[in-house]
């Protein structure tokens, strides 16, 4: 079938496209029988799953989330979404969520991550911690796939805004270049399906604007900020300075994602690496005074 949001029409679980998949078990209708859905707690994956349950309730949906031990709240959002969606779609074949933990600031993974950054063109601009996160989630997903009979691996990753839009918004310097592209990328490669890889966050935002359940029940709990405990005052606010904050504000607007007049936070003490294990008490500077929110 096809779906249209933000004036853009894209295929969504098209049986013709599914013929491009490799080693995925397809049913008589040409669609995968089991789909592993990666949920981050963010708005992309939640909206992708909502459309899946709306249009294809009979497929067996297998949600999972990877809990970042340095930002544990994101997984809580993912868990909440499945609870809400199981109630919203009682007839759908949506299984309970599986939760796995990882620590992307554990130095024992840094050497592997640095190797990938040094040897793979598409990872060359990543930070070590960002690369560890990609590696660990990939390992978790690969081992999870072994538990099932040739499932499809599915996520809601969208592409970056265009370079010009990021320049105009003042956030090109914090963007991940690997997600910026003008050419059309294949949405189905081997066992992986990424239907939103060629559309940006304004497409995602329109899914929320078009479906009241998404805007009212899911949106307020979606996470996108990757700021550390320090810069988010122990996850009680967004940082307003990471790529994900800028992108979300660009797509949803100031009212739904305000970042422009946040109280300033003083620099973290020397040696602070963003790990919760070394978390000092966050301080906020407001009107020139240091306060705790």
Task: Decide whether 11 or 130 has the Cβ nearer to Zn ion.
Answer: 130
Nearer to Zn ion, 56 or 246 (CB): 246
Which listed residue (46, 51, 59, 245) binds Zn ion by CB under 5 A?
Answer: 245
Contact region with Zn ion (CB under 5 A), list: 91-99, 114-122, 234-242, 271-279: 234-242
Q: Which of residues 194-233 bind Zn ion (CB under 5 A)?
A: 225, 227
**Nearest position to Zn ion, beta carbon:** 225
Site membership for Zn ion, residue 43 (CB under 5 A) = no
Please tell me the distance from the alpha carbon of residue 49 to that of residue 64, in angstroms, as a whole number. 12
Pairwise CA distance, residues 174 & 197, whole Å: 19
Question: Whole-number minimum distance, CB 228 to Zn ion, in Å?
Answer: 9
Q: How many residues bind Zn ion (CB under 5 A)?
A: 6
Identify the residue among 140, 242, 251, 265 touching Zn ion (CB under 5 A): 242
**Token pair 């936070």: residue:** 265
**Rounded distance, CA 47 to CA 207, Å?**
7
User: Taking the CA of residue 188 as centre, how many other CA atoms within 13 Å lie in the half-sphere pointing to its CB?
Assistant: 18
- Alpha-carbon gap, residue 45 to 38, rounded angstroms: 7
Is residue 239 a contact point for Zn ion (CB under 5 A)?
yes
Residue pair 263/290 in contact (Cβ under 8 Å)? The answer is: no
* Cα separation, 88 vs 213, whole angstroms: 9
Which region among 108-116, 202-210, 239-247, 269-277 touches Zn ion (by CB under 5 A)?
239-247
Task: Please tell me whether residue 53 binds Zn ion under the rule CB under 5 A.
Answer: no
Q: What is the DSSP string of 114-153?
A: HHHHHH-GGGTT--HHHHHHHHHHHHHHHHHHTTSSSPEE
Q: How far is the CB of 225 from Zn ion (least distance, A)?
A: 3
Strand-pairing partners, residue 99, are: 65
C-beta of 141 vs 158, nearer to Zn ion: 158
From 86-94, 150-158, 177-185, 238-246, span contacting Zn ion (CB under 5 A) = 238-246
Supply the minimum distance, in Å, between the C-beta of residue 63 and Zn ion.
24
| Closest CB to Zn ion among residues 113, 225 | 225
Long-range contacts made by residues 82-87, C-beta under 8 angstroms, separation at least 24? 82/39, 84/217, 84/218, 85/49, 85/50, 85/53
Residues forming contacts to Zn ion in the complex (CB under 5 A) are: 225, 227, 238-239, 242, 245
């Amino acid at each position: 079938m096809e779906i249209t949001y933000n004036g853009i029409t894209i295929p969504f679980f098209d049986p013709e496209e599914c013929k491009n998949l490799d080693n995925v078990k397809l049913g008589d209708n040409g669609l995968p029988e089991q789909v592993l859905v990666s949920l981050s707690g963010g708005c992309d994956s939640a909206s992708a799953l909502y459309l899946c349950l709306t249009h294809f309730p009979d497929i067996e949906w297998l949600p999972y989330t990877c809990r970042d031990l340095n930002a544990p709240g994101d997984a809580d959002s993912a868990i909440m979404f499945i609870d809400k969606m199981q109630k919203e779609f009682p007839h759908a074949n949506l299984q309970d969520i599986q939760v796995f933990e990882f620590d992307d600031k554990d130095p024992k993974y840094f050497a592997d991550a640095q190797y990938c950054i040094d040897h793979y063109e598409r990872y060359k601009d990543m930070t070590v911690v960002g690369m560890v996160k990609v590696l660990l989630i990939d390992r978790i997903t690969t081992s999870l796939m072994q538990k099932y009979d040739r499932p499809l691996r599915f996520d809601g990753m969208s592409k970056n805004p265009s370079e010009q839009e990021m320049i105009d918004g003042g956030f090109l310097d914090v963007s991940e270049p690997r997600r910026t592209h003008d050419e059309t990328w294949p949405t189905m490669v081997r066992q992986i399906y990424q239907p939103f890889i060629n559309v940006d966050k304004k497409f995602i935002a329109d899914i929320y604007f078009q479906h009241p359940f998404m805007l009212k029940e899911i949106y307020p709990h979606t996470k996108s900020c990757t700021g550390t405990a320090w810069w988010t005052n122990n996850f009680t606010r967004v940082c307003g300075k990471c790529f994900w904050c800028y992108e979300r504000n660009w797509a949803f607007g100031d009212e739904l994602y305000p970042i422009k007049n946040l109280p300033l936070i003083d620099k973290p003490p020397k040696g602070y690496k963003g790990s919760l294990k070394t978390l000092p008490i966050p301080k906020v500077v407001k009107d020139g005074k240091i306060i705790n929110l």
